[in-house]
């Protein structure tokens, strides 16, 4: 049985969902440009370099949801999908996912971005299974904090094993493939049988070349 894992940002998507979400909210006047834009850019830069702390990264972006319920965010979330996300999904990414689905693979999207702003993207790809960072809800309102293991770096492997165990399966049962662009996903790529570096950053490209991994340039 085949298991195929897709990272989202800069892999299937031409951009970063968290950064685009902040840009979107700034454009709508919900976040204050002066205080958020520079911090957003700094976190994106350090994420790409693999130097940002996982808690700092996750809680900054999940914090943008604080104080509203999912229902209160829903119209903005739909607008965000159509205005910021869908134009950045290329036909090649859609076709790649479909090829694996048509082969009968168990296809899963795994992303460090929180579930609330990525589940519609997964649905657009027809990907049923999503592992993402989980935003906390209290009394049906986002607190601005996360719950559980953050789905980033080693956390992606931990969450994958837990997800499979919940289904009564283990990673060793599968002929597994993972696609990612980022050095942050090195633990995930090392955990599968067929790692694929997609439009990789400089550090991941060097690692892929040294290990003889497949390197793919996916047009967006």
Read off the tokens for 156.
């992606």
Contacts of 2 (CB under 8 A, 6+ apart): 100, 103, 104, 105, 106, 174, 175, 176, 177
Could you list the residue range(s) of the whole structural domain that residue 148 is in? 2-216
Task: State residue 37's pLDDT score.
Answer: 79
Q: What's the CA gap between 159 and 164, in Å, rounded? A: 9
pTM for the model stands at 0.93
Give me the CATH number covering residue 37.
Answer: 3.40.50.1000
Strand order of the β-sheet with 214-216 is: 141-147, 129-138, 106-114, 2-6, 175-180, 194-198, 214-216
Catalytic residue among 7, 16, 105, 185: 7
Residue-level pLDDT, tens digit, the chain, 220 residues:
999 999 999 999 999 999 899 999 999 999 888 878 788 788 778 877 778 777 887 888 899 999 999 999 999 999 999 999 999 999 999 999 999 999 999 999 999 999 999 999 999 999 999 999 999 999 999 999 999 999 999 999 999 999 999 999 999 999 999 999 999 999 999 999 999 999 999 999 999 999 999 999 998 8
Count: domains in the chain? 1
Residue 7 catalytic? yes
Of 9, 18, 105, 201, catalytic: 9
Instruction: In whole angstroms, give the CA distance from residue 11 to residue 44.
Output: 15
Q: Is 201 designated active site? A: no
Those residues with Cβ within 8 angstroms of residue 107's Cβ, 6 or more apart along the chain or in another chain? 4, 6, 97, 100, 101, 127, 128, 129
């Amino acid at each position: 049985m085949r298991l195929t894992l897709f990272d989202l940002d800069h892999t299937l998507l031409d951009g970063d969902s968290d950064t685009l979400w902040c840009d979107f909210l700034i454009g709508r006047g919900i976040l204050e440009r002066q205080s958020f834009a520079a911090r957003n850019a700094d976190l994106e830069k350090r994420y790409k370099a693999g130097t940002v702390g996982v808690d700092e990264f996750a809680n900054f972006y999940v914090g943008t949801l604080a104080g509203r319920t999912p229902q209160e965010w829903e119209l903005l979330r739909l607008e965000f999908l159509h205005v910021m996300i869908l134009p950045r999904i290329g036909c090649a990414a859609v076709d790649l996912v479909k090829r694996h689905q048509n082969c009968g693979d168990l296809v899963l999207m795994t992303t460090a971005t929180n579930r609330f702003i990525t589940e519609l993207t997964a649905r657009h790809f027809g990907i049923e299974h999503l592992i993402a960072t989980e935003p906390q809800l209290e009394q049906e309102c986002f607190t601005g904090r996360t719950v559980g293991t953050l789905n980033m770096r080693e956390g992606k492997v931990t969450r994958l094993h837990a997800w499979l165990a919940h289904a009564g399966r283990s990673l060793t049962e599968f002929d597994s493939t993972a696609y990612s662009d980022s050095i942050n996903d090195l633990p995930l790529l090392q955990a599968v049988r067929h790692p694929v570096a997609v439009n990789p950053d400089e550090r991941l490209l060097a690692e892929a070349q040294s290990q003889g991994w497949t390197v793919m340039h996916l047009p967006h």
